[in-house]
Structure 1
Amino acid sequence: MAGLRRAGVIGGGFMAEVHARAIRAAGHEVHGIASSSPESGRLAARRLGVPIAFDSAEALIAADEIDVVHVCTPNALHFEQASAAIQHGKSVVCEKPLAISEIDAEHLRRAADDAGAVTAVPFVYRYYPVVREIRERIRGGEAGELLLLHGSYLQDWLANRADTNWRVSSDGGGPSRAFADVGVHWCDLMEFITGHRIVRLSARLVTAHPHRGAPGDRVLNEDMSLLTFETDGGAAGSLTVSQISQGRKNRLWFSFDGTEGSFEFNQETPDSFWIGGIDSSSTVTAGTGGMRSADARRLSMLPAGHPQGYQDAFKAFMSDAYSAMMGEEAFGLPDFSDGFRAAQLTAAVIRSSESQEWVVVPEFESASANERSVR
């Protein structure tokens, strides 16, 4: 196949499987995999149907037959592995957070720019068709002047004190968990859709369960984050993030409210969105004539009434990422500049929570998140 790219996936867990499916759906080859040990790499290769199990991440990155490196490992390993991949001249798809410190994330962004590497970070909620439709309508003025940008991202997978995971360790997961893990998805979506940038924020990080799992396992990152912010477009906003909300599986919800209308979206029902007005309100469904955006129609792969979900969004993201690697345009593709933006916001949230003061977020223009034209 002309233009076939051979991918190497580092990591053998859930996200590695999601990446592998999406790579194949994009028409490319999952050529090799490496995990935390040679044995776990071989097990992952058999489970995912990958022909080569490398003994280490280093061996996979250095292999001449690997064109694209996918980093799907614990957060603390992202910086080292993505850096090495760039140094070896590879394209890189790295899970967020790009790094567990703002400094390391900026280093990766600069290294990718200097090397001319094509990079991608899976902020995949951008790839729901209705998200692109909301973006075009808001940027076309249908909401009027945006005044209030608010929402939440709620999960329950760590609701009980006995629940644990490598992410609850600051060594493996980093100094922030709930915000750095899922809150940044909401912020990326808000900035991508509205064109507004968070310039100032006040945050509180809360650890509900200071010990998890076995006795003595201390938790040093947060279960909940509460955020109030201001944007460069004059809007105010708020965000609640939780990984301990019983019954909420993956509820990313927002309402962007303006002088002419409000736009509401819930990721758990991703095939529709709500438009609110004083005189009337309506629901728009993906795949119908109500979808006006060419970009939304491009991403609508199924007829109306056939739901597209998270893996479909991931496949669309991966298709754009590999198109970019082959020199094609991929509008809205999140890259390492967007990963750095998320690290900036995370660092500001931590500083604000520690100081209990409002914090200014440094200016940085991310081309894909802040692109003003609508296609």
Structure 2
Amino acid sequence: MNETQVTLATHGGRTGAGALRTAVVGAGFMARVHAESVRRAGGRVVAVVAPHREAAAAVGAERSYADLDALLSGDAEVDALHVCTPNVTHAGIARAALAAGVHVICEKPLTTSIADAEALVAASAGRIAAVPFVYRFHPMVRELRARLAAGEAGIVSSVSGSYLQDWLASSTDQDWRVDPALGGPSRAFADIGSHWCDLLEFTTGDRIARLSAQTVTVHERGDRTTEELATEDLSSVHFTTVGGVVGTLVVSQVAAGRKNRLHLEVSGTEASFAFDQEDPERLWIGRRSESTVLLRDPGTLSPGAARYARLPAGHAQGYQDCFDAFVADTHRAIRDGTPVEGLPTFTDGLRAVRVTDAVLRSAAADGAWVEVAP
């Protein structure tokens, strides 16, 4: 048995030197994205857990199971499990997979409570447990991170941005996420605001320390009243970081015309930087003397950013490429037994749950300033 085989055996894998055997729980859009990235990383999607056999074909799995127990106690022998189900089910599924010795990739939010997230972090010791904060894997995000780490911004004084979508802009728009019994106590912020906050903290190396938040539910949906449908359509957050930086964030799923616009701007005394997820091939750099746009070109990027530039300059990369890189790094971590630098883990998932909890506590107290648990 070679070193790779020993590592896989130690971490619950049973595939030896061959392709990692993965299973997906769920059969919706995100399940299909995960499965495609597994295949592009050279893995096998050996099983899907879903109530209908047709799900196996939709996800592209080799076989289907009616429930998680049947999968974990059966002959699938999976190395990694991808959790792509409604938010309130994440904790139970991930906990069962970890107990069975399986590595876990769990959609965010990791859980809908801090206690459950803390328990999963503890249970994941000795396993690779990752959360797909995939915007970290845009090459220009890595370039932004490298330039901030090198001090190019000077003194960072403020950060600002938004994450705007319109897929719930109409009162007739429906999805399981609008139901707190399935999605948890937060919708817009937990779903997409958590991405923005993770990106802020990942690129700057600074952390949100205190915040003041407002949340708004714009639409009553279906037969439920606004009170019964307690999740928010949008949120506005003011915050300060551990390093003393002032920040503002607007998150909305009812912003007509915005499909998936995550925008982050970091303002410094020497230079400012802006990244727009809907225009991910460019990084705006502003200086007092001039402003420039840096294009994604593997030949001119820092080594950490160039590593994720899969295509030559002028050949656009996008969301699926980020997901592919995330899954490829997760597979590499499973084989090596240690996380790849920058891989978002369950600890990062716990961090996002804590920030979301602070937002909800502040909003419930009419925007009072609250501390974010370190």
Q: TM-score range by the shorter chain?
A: over 0.9
Unmatched segments (≥5 aa) in structure 1: 364-375
Distance 1:362 1:45, change over 3 A: same
The residue aligned with 1:20 is 35
The residue aligned with 2:9 is none
Deviation at 1:221, TM superposition (A): 0.4
Q: Which amino acid aligns with 2:121?
A: R
Q: Do the aligned residues in 1 keep the contact of 2:311 with 2:317 (CA within 8 Å)?
A: yes
The residue aligned with 2:47 is 32
Q: Do the aligned residues in 2 keep the contact of 1:61 with 1:69 (CA within 8 Å)?
A: no
The residue aligned with 2:151 is 141
d(CA) in 2 for partners of 1:31, 1:92: 15
Deviation at 1:61, TM superposition (A): 3.1
Distance 1:233 1:216, change over 3 A: closer
d(CA) in 2 for partners of 1:49, 1:197: 39
CA RMSD of aligned residues (A): 1.3
Q: Report Cα offsets for 1:237-259 as digits up to 9, x if no partner.
A: 01000000000000000110011
Q: Report Cα offsets for 1:190-238 as digits up to 9, x if no partner.
A: 00000010010001111011x2135668421000010000001110001
The residue aligned with 1:102 is 114
Given the alignment, which residue of 51, 60, 73 partners 2:62? 51
| Mapping for residues 271-310 of structure 1, pairs under 5 Å | 271-287=281-297, 289-291=299-301, 293-310=302-319
| 1:6 corresponds to 2:17 | no
Q: Report Cα offsets for 1:32-63 as digits up to 9, x if no partner.
A: 0011x2xx2x1111223311111212222333
Q: Do the aligned residues in 2 keep the contact of 1:3 with 1:326 (CA within 8 Å)?
A: no
Given the alignment, which residue of 166, 176, 180 partners 1:170? 180
Q: Do the aligned residues in 2 keep the contact of 1:78 with 1:98 (CA within 8 Å)?
A: yes
Q: Which amino acid aligns with 1:66?
A: V
The residue aligned with 1:89 is 101
Q: Which amino acid aligns with 1:74?
A: P
d(CA) in 1 for partners of 2:254, 2:303: 38
Aligned length: 355
Distance 1:168 1:329, change over 3 A: closer
Distance 1:215 1:360, change over 3 A: closer
Ranges of 4+ aligned residues in structure 1 off by more than 6 Å: none
Query: Residue 326 of structure 1: SS of its match in structure 2?
Result: helix
Q: Do the aligned residues in 1 keep the contact of 2:298 with 2:306 (CA within 8 Å)?
A: no
| Length-normalised TM-score, structure 2 | 0.93
Q: Do the aligned residues in 1 keep the contact of 2:153 with 2:268 (CA within 8 Å)?
A: yes
Q: Do the aligned residues in 2 keep the contact of 1:169 with 1:221 (CA within 8 Å)?
A: yes
| 1:73 corresponds to 2:85 | yes
| 1:233 corresponds to 2:233 | no
Q: Report Cα offsets for 1:123-180 as digits up to 9, x if no partner.
A: 0000000000010001100001111011000000000000011000110000000000
Q: Do the aligned residues in 1 keep the contact of 2:160 with 2:248 (CA within 8 Å)?
A: yes
d(CA) in 1 for partners of 2:354, 2:203: 19
d(CA) in 1 for partners of 2:218, 2:246: 27
Q: Report Cα offsets for 1:335-360 as digits up to 9, x if no partner.
A: 10000000000111111111121001
The residue aligned with 2:198 is 188
d(CA) in 2 for partners of 1:235, 1:333: 25
| 1:333 corresponds to 2:328 | no
d(CA) in 2 for partners of 1:245, 1:225: 12
Deviation at 1:74, TM superposition (A): 0.4
| Length-normalised TM-score, structure 1 | 0.92
| Mapping for residues 247-286 of structure 1, pairs under 5 Å | 247-286=257-296
